[in-house]
Amino acid sequence: MNRAVAPPARPLWEKIFGFIGIAAHVVVGFFYLTAGLVTPAPWLVGLILVWVALLIVGILLLRRRPLLVLIVPVVALGLLVGGISLGEALLGWTA
């Protein structure tokens, strides 16, 4: 008979860092919302959808690889700054 062996449980400190990553992503979400001062509404909706997609990725990573969750807010902030910069340079967005 085949018996499935459960993977070893993650240490508590890894889970704590994972939750810190999710909390940091929520903080970055505030900056996504304030980007509405610079971006037009349709582009803001797109940016918020990107943030939500990254939140889902972070939650999935929290279950499988908690330490990788720390990368998610960094990627989210990079995409926000890059998107706003491109919008200003190519589409003429101003505050």
Reported pTM: 0.86
The tens digit of pLDDT for each residue in 13-68 reads 889 999 999 999 999 999 999 998 999 999 999 999 999 999 999 999 999 899 99
Which phi and psi angles does 35 have, rounded to 5°?
-65, -15
Q: Cβ distance 76 to 54 under 8 Å?
A: yes
